[in-house]
Amino acid sequence: MSNSHAPILVTGGAGYIGSHTVRLLAGQGRKVVVLDNLVFGHDQAIVDPEVELVVGDVGDQELVRSLFQKHQFGAVIHFAAYAYVGESVTNPLKYYQNNTAEPIKLLQVMQEFGCKVFVFSSTCATYGVPDKLPITETNQQNPINPYGQSKLMVEKILADCDTAWGLRSACLRYFNASGCSPDGKIGEDHNPETHLIPRVLMAVTGEIDYLEVFGTDYDTPDGTCIRDYIHVEDLADAHARALDHLAAGGASVRCNLGTGVGVSVKEIISAVEEITGKTVPVKYGPRRAGDPASLVADPALAKELLGWVASRKNIRDMVGPAWIWTSGPNGGRYPANQTRA
């Protein structure tokens, strides 16, 4: 494995996708240091004792410099971001500051230390409302909210840094991250929780009174929105492969991470009822502004460039582990953070 001995800095590594990726990387014997401010992350999501968790901000250049001096990182995987689309519309500056301006400070330190490998957690939100389906990397990138815009700006910054000082990057455009580690040790715990599968499970356990479904009159087979749900462990695998591709001298890449399979809201409700044996209380409401009828990836480029294919394509493979986590001893929640900056 090229450059596998150089430590890796993972920002936002105590978050949902970050923690699953850290667990995979640590399991592969890589040296990982996590930098997370624990605003949304959980210290208990770092389950490997050999992984160092540093509590702090990506934009704290003094801290980041000290970490680079100590560890001489060979690569950075950047997850740290705010990801509430609705909030980005009402508070855009918060998103541009955190998702765009802070990573610039990180990149400045990387340039100082000659670290030229960067794996970036991007999003299908950079495409906006798709001009064609399935979505390929040649689709127009025209975000319809500041969240998608803030991520697209970083993609452009990374391309400019490649031209200017040889930074090689992988921009991984996720579709709908879902599921969790099958052993139920780590999982998905957002506050507030906006993702569909956890919300359906919360309706089953009674944590919320009912699931609200926005729109049943879309031009889809059952009238509800269709999305491409990608297992979080498959996302983690793509990050490891992107790291290896770049560490081996590979060129910068931009690719979609999805299954290529579209699943409707009603199909997820059915899968949850089948796996839990319980009925989901549902309230059907009108469409929500800005929700496209269907978002499905064409993941062919990730296979071609990174040798990556989603190993789980059946929605039950995402719902099953999520239910193990939700019905487990902590009820799908991490204990309060104990680690301090």
Nearest to 315 by CA among 275, 255, 256: 275
Report residue 341's pLDDT band, with 50, 70 and 90 as the boundaries: low
CA atoms within 13 A on the CB side of 121: 25
Angle between the N-to-C axes of helices 232-247 and 16-27, in degrees from 0 to 180, rounded to the nearest 10: 60
Q: In angstroms, rounded to a whole number, what is the distance separating the alpha carbons of residues 332 and 302?
A: 31
| Mean pLDDT, range 333-341, rounded to an integer | 88
What are the E-state strand segments in the chain? 8-11, 32-36, 52-55, 75-78, 117-123, 168-174, 176-178, 211-214, 226-227, 229-231, 253-257, 263-264, 282-285, 294-295
Is 171 or 289 the better-scoring residue by pLDDT? 171
Q: What is the pLDDT of residue 4?
A: 52
Q: In angstroms, rounded to a whole number, what is the distance separating the alpha carbons of residues 276 and 302?
A: 33
> What digits encode the pLDDT tens for the residues 35-59?
999 999 999 999 999 999 999 999 9
147 an active-site residue?
A: yes
| Catalytic option among 82, 95, 127, 147 | 147
Question: What number of other Cβ atoms are within 10 A of residue 279's Cβ?
Answer: 11
Enumerate domains of the chain plus CATH numbers: 8-177+229-258+296-305 (3.40.50.720)
> What digits encode the pLDDT tens for the residues 260-269?
999 999 999 9
Q: Among residues of the chain, what percentage have pLDDT more than 70?
A: 99
SS3 content of the chain, % helix, strand, coil (to 5): 40, 15, 45
Report residue 3's pLDDT band, with 50, 70 and 90 as the boundaries: very low
